[in-house]
Amino acid sequence: MVALLFILFAGMAIGCAISMVAQRNPLYGAISLIGVFISLACLYVTLAAPFIAAVQVIVYAGAIMVLVVFVIMLLNVEEEEWPTRMRSLVPIAVVLAAVLFAEAAFIIYFVQASPSTPTRNISDVGLTSSIGAGLFTTYLLPFEITSILLLMAVVGAMTLARTGGLLPPRAVVVPGHQVLARDVLDPRAVNDPEPIHARTTAEVEKILGIEGVPHVSDEDLSERSVRIL
Amino acid sequence: MDDLIHVAWLLAGILVAFTVVMTMVAYTVLAERRVLGFIQGRLGPNRVGPGGFLQPLADLLKFIFKEDIVPDKSTRFVYFLAPVIATTAALMTIVVYPFGPEIHLPIINKTIPLVVTRFDVALLYVLGVTSVGVYGIALAGWSSNNKYSLMGGLRSSAQMISYELALGLGLIGVILQSGTLDLYSIVEQQSGHLGVTGWNLIWAQPLGFLIYLIAAIAETNRVPFDLPEAETELVAGFHTEYSAMKFALFFLAEYVNMFTVSMLATTLFLGGWNGPFVHQLPWLGVFYFFGKVILFLFLYIWLRGTLPRFRFDQLMNFGWKFLVPLAIINIFLTATLQWSGALDYVNKFLKTSVGWGG
C-alpha cells in the first residue's frame, strides 16, 4: 500500500520536475513546481511526517509560489526564447548532471550496502508537539537566529520598496488635471483645504511657492493613494 | 486485508460526508436566493417544486446543458485546470471536520466517531489546502485573456494572501488554548456545562472569533469583500469568460468554501457538536453541528443583503493595519492568560462556585 503510494507520488514529483525544467512558458513551469511541492508533501505524509507535509504545502505551495505566479501574471512574461549564447554551457551541464547522478547512485549503493541498524523506535517523531518542543528547547538558538534572519529580510524588503524615501505618503501629484487640497500638499498649511487646480508638479510648486512636492508617475499610480479634493 | 477494510471505511466516510455537504451546499444556494428575496421585499425562486424546493436540481440541469464557450485566445490547459483546482481544493477539507460524537451503529454493531479521518495536523491541513485554492482563481483570471478576468484574479490573489495571514494568526489563539491541532480533540475540549459553557467563543477566544469571522468572509470572496468579482467594475471578475459547467464549478467552489469556513468556525469556536444532552443522545450532536453551521451561512447571506462593498485600498488597509495587529494582540493576550493560569482559575471558580462542570 505504502509502496504503491510512494511510486505514485514519486512519479508525480519527478514528472512535474522534468516538466518544470522543460516548459518554455514560465507560468507552466511555476505550475509544475507547485505539483512537485504537493507531491513531496504527500511523500512526507507516507513517511509519517504530517507536520512537515502541512508546512510544505502552506509555505511553499500556498505562499511562495502564489507570489511567483502573481509576479508572472503581473509582468505577463512571454514564452522564453532558446538562448543561443548559452549553447557553450551545454557540455558543462552534462558533466554536472553526470556528477549528480553519480552522487545519487553512490548514496543508494551506500544505504543498501551498509548493515541495517535499528533506529530508535520513537512514535512521536514528526508530530507537531515533538517538533515544537524540539524547536523551543534543543534547537532554540538556531531557531531564533533563523527568525532574526527572516525579520531582517522583511525589513530589507520594506526599505528597498520605499523608493520615495521621506515623501509624505499623502501628498502626491499625478500627471493630468486635478484639484487638490492645499493642506495635503503644503506642510505649512495646516487645516487649509482650499482647492488648488494643477496639471503637473511644477505647477503646484509655482502656485504654492514651495519646493519638493512629490510627484508620481503613471506606473506608480496603483501603488499609492491619491487624495483629490 | 485490514488495509482494504480501512480504505473501504474511509471511502464510505468520504462518500457520506461529500453527499451531505453537497446537498446542504445546493440548498444553501436556494436559501441564499430566498432569503435575499425576503430582505429585498420580493419572493425569490419559488416555482420549481413546492416552495422552490427543486430549484437546485433545475439549476444543475441548466448548467449542464448550457453551451460551453472557450475563448479563442485563452491559454487552454490552464483555462481548464483552474476550475478543477478551485473545486478540488474547496472539497478536500471536508474530511477532517467532526460532524458528531462517537455513535453506535446498530446493525453492524460498531462504535465510530462521526469524522472521516483524524490526524495530528488537521488544522494545518485545512489552512494548507485553502491556500492552494487561491491558484484556481488566479489562474482562471490569467488564462482567460481578458482584462477584467485578470484584474479579478490579481485582486483575489492579493486579497486572499493578505487575509490568510490574519486568518491563520487568529486561529493561533485557539491552538495555544487547546494544545492540539486535531479538530476532534478541540471539539471534545469544549464540552463544558450542558455542552454550552465550554465554547471557545465565550470565555477563551472572543477576539479570535471576531478576527476569524472577518478574515473568513474575505477569504471566501463574499460581500463586503467581494472585490474579485465586483460586478460594477469587473463584469464578473475572474470567471467572466467561464460558462456552463466550468462556471458552475467556480460557483460550487465558492459555496463549498463558505460551508467549510462555517464548519471550521463551528468546530473551533462554537463547540462543534457540543450542546445540551449530547451525552445521552449522541445523534443530537449532528443536529447541533449543522444547526450552528446554518447559523453562520445565514449570517453570510444576511451580510450580503445588507452591506455595501469595500474599496480596494480600504480592504488592504483593514487587513494589514487592523486585523493582523489585532490578531497579534490576541496571541499575546492568550499566551499571557495561558501562562499565568488565569483561565484555569476561572474554570475552577465556575466549577466550584457556580457548579458548571467540564
Task: Compute the mean pLDDT over every residue in chain A, rounded to the nearest whole number.
Answer: 76
The model carries a pTM of: 0.78
**Full domain range(s) for residue A2:** 1-77
In a domain? residue A120: no
Q: Which of A41, A61, A73 sits opposite B153 (nearest CB)?
A: A73
In a domain? residue A154: no
Q: Per-residue confidence at A117, pLDDT binned at 50, 70, 90?
A: low
CA distance B138 to chain A (A): 8
Of A36, A58, A77, which residue is a domain's last?
A: A77
CA distance A177 to chain B (A): 22
CA distance A109 to chain B (A): 32
In a domain? residue A152: no
Residues 6 or more apart whose Cβ sits within 8 Å of residue A126: A47, A48, A49, A50, A51, A52
The pLDDT value recorded for residue A69 is 83
The full DSSP string for B290-303 is HHHHHHHHHHHHHH
Q: Which of A28, A57, A73 sits opposite B128 (nearest CB)?
A: A57
In a domain? residue A85: no
Q: Which residues pair with A198 in a beta bridge?
A: A178
Q: Cell digits for B188?
A: 471534545
CB < 8 Å to B3, chain A? 1
CB < 8 Å to B180, chain A? 128-129
φ, ψ dihedrals at B291, nearest 5°: -60, -45
Query: How many Cβ atoms sit within 10 Å of the Cβ of residue B108?
Result: 6
Q: What is the pLDDT along chain B (358 residues), one digit of tens a residue?
A: 777 888 888 888 889 888 988 888 888 888 888 888 888 888 888 888 787 888 888 888 888 888 888 888 777 788 888 899 889 998 988 888 888 887 777 777 777 777 778 877 888 888 888 888 888 888 888 888 888 888 888 888 888 888 888 888 888 888 888 888 888 888 888 877 776 777 777 677 888 888 999 998 888 888 788 777 766 677 777 888 888 888 888 888 889 999 999 999 988 888 888 878 877 777 888 888 889 899 999 998 898 888 888 887 888 888 888 999 999 999 998 888 888 877 777 777 776 776 665 4
Taking the domains of chain B in order of start, what are their residue ranges? 75-350
Over residues A199-216, mean pLDDT: 69
Indicate the number of domains in chain A: 2
Cα Rg of chain B, angstroms: 21
The pLDDT value recorded for residue A141 is 93
The pLDDT value recorded for residue B78 is 84
CA-based nearest residue in chain A for residue B182: A128
Cβ A32 vs Cβ A19: under 8 Å = yes
Over residues A191-204, mean pLDDT: 71
Is A3 in the B-facing interface, judged by CB distances under 8 Å? Answer: no
Cβ B186 vs Cβ B121: under 8 Å = no
The pLDDT value recorded for residue A150 is 92
Of A43, A77, A111, which residue is a domain's last?
A: A77
Q: B34 to each of A45, A111, B221, B267, B292, how far by Cα in Å? A: 44, 65, 21, 27, 20
Of A13, A48, A77, which residue is a domain's last?
A: A77
In a domain? residue A153: no
In a domain? residue A183: yes
Over residues A38-67, mean pLDDT: 86
Is A160 in the B-facing interface, judged by CB distances under 8 Å? Answer: no
CA-based nearest residue in chain A for residue B3: A1
Helix (H), strand (E), coil (C) string for A149-211: HHHHHHHHHHHHHCCCCCCCCCCCECCCCEEEEHHHHCCCCCCCCCEEEECCHHHHHHHHCCC
The pLDDT value recorded for residue A164 is 44
Q: Cell digits for B252?
A: 460550487
- Select from A73, A224, A226 the residue whose CB has the most chain B CBs within 10 Å, as the one to mutate to test that interface: A73
Q: Per-residue confidence at A223, pLDDT binned at 50, 70, 90?
A: very low
In a domain? residue A106: no
C-beta atoms of B134 and A63 within 8 A: no
CA distance B286 to chain A (A): 28
The pLDDT value recorded for residue B130 is 86
Cβ A62 vs Cβ B128: under 8 Å = yes
Residues 6 or more apart whose Cβ sits within 8 Å of residue B251: B29
The pLDDT value recorded for residue A171 is 52
Q: Cell digits for A52?
A: 512537515
What is the distance between the alpha carbons of residues B9 and B22, in angstroms, rounded to a whole number?
Answer: 20
Q: CATH no. for residue A49?
A: 1.20.120.1200
CB < 8 Å to A127, chain B? 120
Q: Per-residue confidence at A228, pLDDT binned at 50, 70, 90?
A: very low
What is this model's ipTM? 0.81
- Select from B80, B125, B165, B318 the residue whose CB has the most chain A CBs within 10 Å, as the one to mutate to test that interface: B125
The pLDDT value recorded for residue A109 is 86
In a domain? residue A156: no
